[in-house]
C-alpha cells in the first residue's frame, strides 16, 4: 500500500476531496456489497430451513408411511419367557394363542478326539503338517450330507483330499471349501471341530475313503470323535404341528423363537399397544406443527423494506446492540411473502387436509380427533397447526374427548391405513418439491443453484467496481499530485524572484 503525502503545497484536504469525487462509484460498490450480505443471510436461512424440512421428511414422516411402524406397536406376552421369545409383526392379530415346543432344531456337530501329537512331541497348531502327526500317505475324506432318515432323498457326497505335506490349516480350509460345512481347529483342546447349520437336512456323516482310516484316526475324526446329529424343530401352535430346520417360526405375523422344550402348552397374548401408537402419531403431528409454524411465521414476517445491511462506516456510528437489532430486523423479514416458501406451505397443508379413501369411505384427520383451531382461535402464525382432542399436554384441547385413543383401541387397522396414506401424501408432496432441477439440487426445497449463480454475479460486479473505484481514485490523486508539483514550482520561482528583488534594493 502506497503512502501519499498530499496538500503539502496547496494546503488542501486532498483525501477528503478525492473521496467526494469518487463518491458515486463508491456508493454503487457499497450497494453491491449490501446485496451480497443480504443474499448470504438468505442462503443461510434457507439452508437452515432445508435441514429442518429434510429432517421431517426422512424422520417421523418417513416412518409414519410404513405399516411396519404400526405393527411394531404390539404388546406381546408369553407365559414362560425362558422357553420362547415372541414378537408380533405385520398381520399379527390380537388375541390369545397356545404354543408347545416339542423339539429344538440342532446343528450337526462332530467334535474330534485329540489329534495324535506323539511324534510331534508338543501341541499342534494350524501350521503343523499331517506328516508331523504321523500321516505318511495321501488320503481322502468322504462326507455324506443330508437327512439319513429321509428315504426319498439321497445324501450328497463330498470328497476332501489331503496330502501328508498339508498343514492342519490346509485341511480345515479344504473341508470348508469342498463341503460348505464350518470347520476349525481348537488349539486349546487340540481337536478338529466340524459343524453344519441346524436342521436334519444339513446333517452329515464322515468316513474314510479308501485306505485313509489310519490318517483320520490320527486326526481324531473317527473312533474318538463325538457326533451330534442335526435335527428339526417341532413346534405346535394352536394344535397345528410345524417342523423346521430353524428354531424360529412365523405363523400369522407372530414369530416364535424357540429357546427350550416345554412340558405343557404355553400361552401367548398379542394386543395393540395403544399408548405406543398414540405417542407415535402425536410425535408426527408435533413435528409437522413445529415445521409449519416456523414456515408460517417466516412467510408472515413484518416488512423491513426501509432496512438494508449496514456498511462498516454505518456500523461504527452505532452500538453493538443497535447493530444486532438492525440486522435482526432484516434477517427476520427474509422469508416475507417468499413464493417458494409459500408453495411449500400450500403443498404441506393440502396434503395433510385432503381426504383418504379406505374401503370406499373417505376419512379426514378430524375423524380421528385431530383438527386445526382456525384463524380466530389459533395463536399468531399457528393457524396451519393441528391439535389432538384430549391431549393432556395441549391446554387448548385437553378437555375434549380423546377420540384418537378410542379409535386406536377399537380399530387399529383403520388407524394404520389412514395415517400411512396421509404420511405418504405429505411425503410425496415434499419429494416433488425436493426433486433436482436446473435451479435446485436434489433433496433441496429452495433454488440453491440459482442463488449460487446470483452470488457469483455479485462477486464479479463487486470485483469490477473495486477496480473502477481504485482507478478513479488513482486518476484524481495523479491530478492533484501534478497540481501540487506545479504549485511547489511556482512557490519556488516566487521565492527566487522575491530574493532577487530584495537583493537589488
Question: What is the C-alpha separation between 70 and 399, in angstroms, rounded?
Answer: 27
Among 28-32, 52-56, 221-225, 257-261, the least confident range: 28-32
Q: What Å distances lie between residue 344 and 81, 165, 348, 387, CA to CA?
A: 50, 74, 6, 21
- Give me the pLDDT at residue 23, please: 63
Residue 21 has pLDDT above 60, yes or no: no
Question: What is the C-alpha separation between 206 and 196, in angstroms, rounded?
Answer: 12
All structural domains of the chain with their residue ranges: 23-67+275-448, 74-103+234-272, 107-231
Strand 191-198 and strand 182-186: the pairing is antiparallel
- Rg for the chain (alpha carbons), in Å? 42
Q: Are 192 and 172 in contact (CB under 8 A)?
A: yes
DSSP per-residue codes, 309-338: PPPHHHHHTS-HHHHHHHHHHHHHTTTTT-
Question: What is the C-alpha separation between 475 and 21, in angstroms, rounded?
Answer: 11
Q: What is the mean pLDDT of the chain?
A: 90
- Give me the pLDDT at residue 73, please: 81
Among 357-366, 398-407, 488-497, the least confident range: 488-497
pLDDT (tens digit, 9 = 90+) per residue, 210-239?
899 999 999 999 999 999 999 999 999 999
- Give me the pLDDT at residue 3, please: 40
- Give me the pLDDT at residue 154, please: 86
- Give me the pLDDT at residue 200, please: 95
- Give me the pLDDT at residue 8, please: 46
Here the cell at position 272 is 395393540
Q: What Å distances lie between residue 401 and 370, 398, 406, CA to CA?
A: 11, 8, 9
Among 36-50, 77-91, 186-200, 212-226, the least confident range: 77-91
Q: Are 277 and 412 in contact (CB under 8 A)?
A: yes
Q: Categorize the per-residue pLDDT at 446 as very low, low, confident or very high, splitting at 50, 70 and 90.
A: very high
Mean pLDDT for the stretch of residues 369-376: 93
Percent of the chain topping pLDDT 70 = 88
pLDDT (tens digit, 9 = 90+) per residue, 461-504?
888 877 776 777 666 667 766 666 666 676 666 676 676 676 55
- Give me the pLDDT at residue 502, please: 65
Q: Are 408 and 278 in contact (CB under 8 A)?
A: yes
* pTM reported for the whole predicted model: 0.69
- Give me the pLDDT at residue 25, please: 65
Burial of 438 (0-12, 13-18, 19+ CB in 10 A): exposed
The answer to whether the Cα torsion of 36, 40, 45, 51 is positive or negative is positive
Residue 5 has pLDDT above 60, yes or no: no
Fold category of 107-231 in CATH: Alpha-Beta Plaits (3.30.70)
Amino acid at each position: 500500500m502506497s503512502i501519499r503525502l498530499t496538500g503539502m503545497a496547496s494546503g488542501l484536504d486532498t483525501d477528503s476531496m478525492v473521496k467526494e469525487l469518487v463518491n458515486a462509484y463508491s456508493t454503487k460498490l457499497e450497494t453491491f456489497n449490501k446485496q451480497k450480505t443480504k443474499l448470504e443471510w438468505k442462503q443461510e436461512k434457507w439452508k437452515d430451513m432445508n435441514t429442518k424440512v429434510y429432517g421431517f421428511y426422512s424422520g417421523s414422516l418417513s416412518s409414519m408411511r410404513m405399516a411396519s411402524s404400526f405393527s411394531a406397536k404390539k404388546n406381546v406376552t408369553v407365559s414362560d419367557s425362558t422357553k420362547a421369545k415372541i414378537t408380533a409383526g405385520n398381520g399379527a392379530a390380537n388375541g390369545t394363542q397356545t404354543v408347545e415346543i416339542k423339539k429344538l432344531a440342532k446343528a450337526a456337530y462332530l467334535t474330534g478326539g485329540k489329534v495324535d501329537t506323539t511324534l510331534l512331541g508338543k501341541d499342534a497348531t494350524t501350521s503343523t503338517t499331517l506328516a508331523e502327526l504321523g500321516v505318511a500317505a495321501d488320503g481322502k475324506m468322504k462326507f455324506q450330507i443330508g437327512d439319513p432318515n429321509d428315504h426319498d432323498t439321497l445324501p450328497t457326497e463330498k470328497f476332501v483330499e489331503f496330502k501328508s505335506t498339508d498343514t492342519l490349516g490346509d485341511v480345515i480350509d479344504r473341508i470348508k471349501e469342498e463341503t460348505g460345512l464350518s470347520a476349525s481347529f481348537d488349539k486349546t483342546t487340540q481337536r478338529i471341530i466340524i459343524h453344519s447349520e441346524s436342521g436334519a437336512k444339513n446333517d452329515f456323516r464322515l468316513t474314510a475313503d479308501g485306505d485313509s482310516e489310519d490318517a483320520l484316526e490320527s486326526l481324531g475324526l473317527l473312533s474318538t470323535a463325538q457326533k451330534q446329529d442335526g435335527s428339526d424343530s417341532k413346534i405346535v401352535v394352536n394344535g397345528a404341528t410345524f417342523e423346521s430346520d430353524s428354531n424360529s417360526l412365523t405363523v400369522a405375523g407372530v414369530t416364535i423363537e424357540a429357546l427350550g422344550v416345554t412340558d405343557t402348552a404355553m400361552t401367548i397374548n398379542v394386543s395393540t399397544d395403544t399408548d405406543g401408537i398414540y405417542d407415535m402419531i402425536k410425535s408426527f403431528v408435533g413435528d409437522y406443527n413445529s415445521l409449519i409454524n416456523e414456515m408460517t411465521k417466516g412467510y408472515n414476517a413484518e416488512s423491513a423494506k426501509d432496512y438494508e445491511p449496514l456498511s462498516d462506516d454505518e456500523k461504527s456510528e452505532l452500538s453493538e446492540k443497535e447493530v444486532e437489532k438492525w440486522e435482526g430486523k432484516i434477517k427476520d423479514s427474509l422469508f416475507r411473502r417468499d413464493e417458494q416458501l409459500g408453495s411449500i406451505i400450500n403443498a404441506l397443508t393440502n396434503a395433510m387436509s385432503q381426504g383418504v379413501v379406505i374401503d370406499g369411505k373417505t376419512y379426514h384427520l378430524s375423524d380421528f380427533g385431530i383438527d386445526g383451531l382456525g384463524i380466530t382461535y389459533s395463536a399468531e402464525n399457528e393457524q396451519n397447526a393441528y391439535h389432538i382432542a384430549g391431549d393432556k399436554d395441549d391446554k387448548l384441547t385437553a378437555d375434549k374427548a380423546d377420540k384418537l385413543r378410542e379409535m386406536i383401541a377399537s380399530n387399529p387397522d383403520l388407524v394404520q391405513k389412514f395415517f400411512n396414506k396421509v404420511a405418504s401424501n405429505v411425503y410425496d408432496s415434499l419429494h416433488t418439491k425436493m426433486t433436482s432441477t436446473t435451479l435446485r439440487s436434489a433433496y433441496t426445497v429452495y433454488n440453491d443453484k440459482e442463488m449460487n449463480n446470483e452470488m457469483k454475479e455479485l462477486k464479479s460486479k463487486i470485483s469490477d467496481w473495486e477496480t473502477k473505484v481504485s482507478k478513479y481514485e488513482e486518476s484524481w490523486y495523479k491530478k492533484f499530485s501534478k497540481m501540487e508539483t506545479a504549485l511547489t514550482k511556482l512557490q519556488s520561482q516566487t521565492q527566487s524572484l522575491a530574493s532577487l528583488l530584495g537583493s537589488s534594493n
